[in-house]
Amino acid sequence: MMREGDVSGGDAARYHRVKQIVLQALDLQGSAREDLVAREAAGDATMVEEVRALLAGMEADQTLVVSLRSSGPPAPDAGQDLSGQEASADAARDYRLLQRLGAGGMGVVYLAERSHGDFVQKVALKLLNPVAEASPELRERFARERELLARLDHPGIARLLDGGILADGRPFLAMEYVEGERVDVHAARLPLDERIALFIGICEAVAEAHRCLVIHRDLKPANILVDARGQPRLLDFGIARLIDEDSAAAGDTHTGQHALTLAYASPEQLACQPLTTATDVYSLGAVLYQLVCGQLPFADIDNPAGLYNAIANTDVQPPSRRLRRDGEPPAQGRAVPADIDAIVLKALRKEPDRRYASVAALAEDLRRYLAHRPVSARADERGYRARRFLRRNAWPLAAAALVLLSVLGGLLASVLALREARAQQALAEKRGHDLQRLADFQQAMLESVDIDAMGHAMTDTQQRKVLEVLEKQGAGQPLDVRLRQAFAQVGAPSIARDALDQQIVTHALARLDGDFADAPLLAADMRQSLARVLIAIGHYAHAADELRRVLQVREAALPATDARIVSASIDLGQALSLQGELEPATDAYDQALAATRALPALDPQRRAAEAGAARPQAARGEQQAALA
């Protein structure tokens, strides 16, 4: 069998290849293991035999030289319960092996009971396998693991309980036994944010190791368990080393430098470059990638050479673009947020100086994501901080916006109410001003009436009409009789109407255009009032003329349905109907009906228009239509 301590020169590459195949085959059994070995050896029968021999040596539990305190049957096969076997250390404590927990390239781990004095404690007992036992370098690494574990004291790291040399000279480590499941298996059942919170706990444990100047160098889900309380626990510091040791060994190319798990190894590990805490940052990025989308960054590559090349030279695809094997979108059917994409890709950058400066910085960015705060991985994106601020403060901002809208709404309502009040006030002031002008006009009109002239005009009219009657009578009767008959034929109401029209109404109408030149609508209102007076005294033709002037002014300034136009049309129809001009009266009423058709049936203007339209119909003998 080839032993690591015997490798030198040109055999080093072959030994590393054999070792890689062994590490891949450890977790397989039967035909699956044989197929993998044959495939990876690529037809090299000697290499196949070397791999088989190394696997057989690592799995032969009975070859572990463990001092038995009592004789008995041979040790059982690998994987079987080892109850009854006992290992005795050179100090006064005993370990009883219960069952095998697992095996790696360097050792085998058993669940054991530690007896010391009057107490019994379950521990994870780690022993070197026969191949490692024959390698001085692996024995040295085993001793260094004990030294490094002794430096670490953190609830997220499995504690070292004991260590030393068995009675037969074999080294051992007794670790705190963590009963749990692999972090990737546990995380698969959690929502994305809970996975991130779990991963932050892993980062805290690794950060504590870094504070103790220890680099783990083999971070992967198999070395991270989640206990019954849901807390992550970091295991296996078998290839860890101190930061100052690794710096001193920058030029060392011995086989220990290649102890790694390829899928989680950083580019500088593959290139045998000096390792820093950035190496653990990269491995944590690979673990986070797997927790987020269920796959490793280069899961589609199934051979070591291709994987080596991808880690060294190929850009990592964002986890949001990866799908699970069953075709479902990542993160339990939810898209991976852009923040998580950015954080993962920053941790997995090829250049160590472009990754997070520390594991603590990685954890802090994840905490910022959970708190909806801007993450440093996206600090250069435009508008990003504003979007995160809005998301982080969505409820307070919504409440503030609601309050602001309420205030603005109240303010707007107040402004509109004030505006309406001012409009009403202006309208009232205008109406008051108009009424005052009308009152002033009426007062001035009445004050300007010449009573003497009006009296003389009425007397002259009466005398003229009496003389006209006397001339027609002739001289056949006495003068007093003839005078009484003449006065009886001359109607006093007619004289009064003429005097009122000429001395008051016509006089007022003549002043309207001058006094209300700046207010044509107001002048139209006054003209309509005077036209109604003319209708009342029986001067229909004069009233119709004035109402046509009113309509002309209003139709030029107002919409066709305005109540003032309707009112003037009804008055015009009345004047024309009383004058006997039935067709023009019908046209005037039809205009009023068209404007009031949309009004309620009992609206005063609509009723006036309908009643007015019935008068010309009745005058023409259309009784049924008028009644309708």
Catalytic residues: 218
- Cα 188 → chain centroid: 26
What CA–CA distances, in Å, run from 5 to 126, 138, 237, 254?
21, 9, 21, 10
Contact status, residue 281 vs residue 362, Cβ threshold 8 Å: yes
DSSP assignments along 28-73, one per residue: --HHHHHHHHHHHHTT-HHHHHHHHHHHHHHH-GGGS----SS--S
Which amino acid belongs to residue 434?
Answer: D
Contact status, residue 310 vs residue 241, Cβ threshold 8 Å: no
234 DSSP assignment: E
Contact status, residue 297 vs residue 371, Cβ threshold 8 Å: no
Helices 540-557 and 520-536 meet at what angle, rounded to 10? 160
Q: How many Å apart are CA 268 and CA 282, to the nearest integer?
A: 10
Give strand pairing partners of 172: 127, 164
Q: How many Å apart are CA 236 and CA 219, to the nearest integer?
A: 9
DSSP assignments along 365-421, one per residue: HHHHHHTT---GGGTTSTTHHHHHHHHHTHHHHHHHHHHHHHHHHHHHHHHHHHHHH
The number of CA neighbours under 13 Å toward the Cβ of 602 is: 0
Report the Cα–Cα distance between both ends of the chain, in Å, rounded.
125
Question: The tokens of 126 are what?
Answer: 């780690």
Q: How many Å apart are CA 42 and CA 329, to the nearest integer?
A: 36
Element (H, E) at 529: helix 520-536
Element (H, E) at 593: helix 582-596
Using only the alpha carbons of the chain, give its radius of gyration: 56
Contacts from 587-593 at CB under 8 Å and sequence distance 24+?
Answer: 589/613, 589/616, 592/566
Q: Within 212-317, where are the H helices? A: 243-248, 267-270, 277-293, 304-313
Question: The tokens of 259 are what?
Answer: 């102890």
